[in-house]
Amino acid sequence: MPANLPPQYFEAEKEYREAKTIEGKIRALKKMLAVMPKHKGTDKLQADIRAKISRLQKELEAEKKGKKRGAFYYIRKEGAGQVVLAGFPNSGKTSIANSLSGTDHPVALYPFTTQIPQVSMMKFEDIHIQLIDIPPLTEEHVVYWQIELIRNSDLILIVLDLESEEVLEHYENILSILSARKINLIGKGERESNLFGPVNKRAIIAANKLDIQGAYDRLELLYELVNKKFPVVPVSAKFGNGLEELKDLIFKELEIIRVYTKEPGKPPVLEDPLILKKGSTVLEAAEEIHKDFAEKLKYARVWGSTKFEGQRVEKHYILQDKDIVEFHI
Residues in touch with Mg ion (CB under 5 A): 93-94, 113-114
Between 25 and 93, whose beta carbon lies closer to Mg ion?
Answer: 93
Q: Using CB under 6 A, pick the residue from 107, 199, 275, 283 that binds ligand GTP.
A: 107
Total residues binding ligand GTP (CB under 6 A): 23
CA 80, distance to chain mean position in Å, is 6
Q: Please, are residues 168 and 221 in contact by the beta-carbon 8 Å criterion?
A: yes
SS3 of residue 74 by DSSP: coil
Shortest distance in whole angstroms from residue 238 CB to ligand GTP: 3
Shortest distance in whole angstroms from residue 313 CB to ligand GTP: 46
Between 11 and 211, whose beta carbon lies closer to ligand GTP?
Answer: 211
Q: Please, are residues 135 and 111 in contact by the beta-carbon 8 Å criterion?
A: no
Cβ neighbours around 7 below 10 Å, total: 8
Task: Work out the angle between the directed axes of helices 167-180 and 215-225 (0-180°, nearest 10).
Answer: 40
Between 118 and 261, whose beta carbon lies closer to ligand GTP?
Answer: 118
Shortest distance in whole angstroms from residue 219 CB to ligand GTP: 13
Q: Please, are residues 212 and 162 in contact by the beta-carbon 8 Å criterion?
A: yes
108 binds ligand GTP (CB under 6 A): yes
Distance from C-alpha of 214 to C-alpha of 165, rounded to nearest angstrom: 9
Q: Using CB under 6 A, pick the residue from 32, 49, 80, 93 that binds ligand GTP.
A: 93
Kindly write out the interface string for residues 200-239 of this chain, putting x where it contacts ligand GTP by CB under 6 A and - elsewhere. --------xx-xx-----------------------xxx-
208 binds, among ligand GTP, Mg ion, none (CB under 5 to 8 A by kind): ligand GTP
273 binds ligand GTP (CB under 6 A): no
Q: Using CB under 6 A, pick the residue from 42, 91, 101, 280 that binds ligand GTP.
A: 91
Contacts of 49 (CB under 8 A, 6+ apart): 29, 32, 33
**Piece in contact with ligand GTP (CB under 6 A), picked from 23-31, 110-118, 184-192, 218-226:** 110-118
Distance from C-alpha of 111 to C-alpha of 16, rounded to nearest angstrom: 48
Distance from C-alpha of 280 to C-alpha of 319, rounded to nearest angstrom: 6
Shortest distance in whole angstroms from residue 326 CB to ligand GTP: 46
Shortest distance in whole angstroms from residue 120 CB to Mg ion: 12
β-pair partners for 125: none
Shortest distance in whole angstroms from residue 173 CB to ligand GTP: 14
143 binds ligand GTP (CB under 6 A): no
Residues constituting the chain:
329
**CB-neighbour burial class of residue 322 (10 A; exposed 0-12, middle 13-18, buried 19+):** middle
Backbone φ and ψ for 212, nearest 5 degrees, come out as: -75, 145
Q: Using CB under 6 A, pick the residue from 42, 82, 94, 261 that binds ligand GTP.
A: 94
Taking Cα atoms as reference points, which of 127, 116, 124 lies closest to residue 94?
A: 116
Binding site for ligand GTP (CB under 6 A): 87, 89-95, 107-109, 111-114, 136, 208-209, 211-212, 236-238
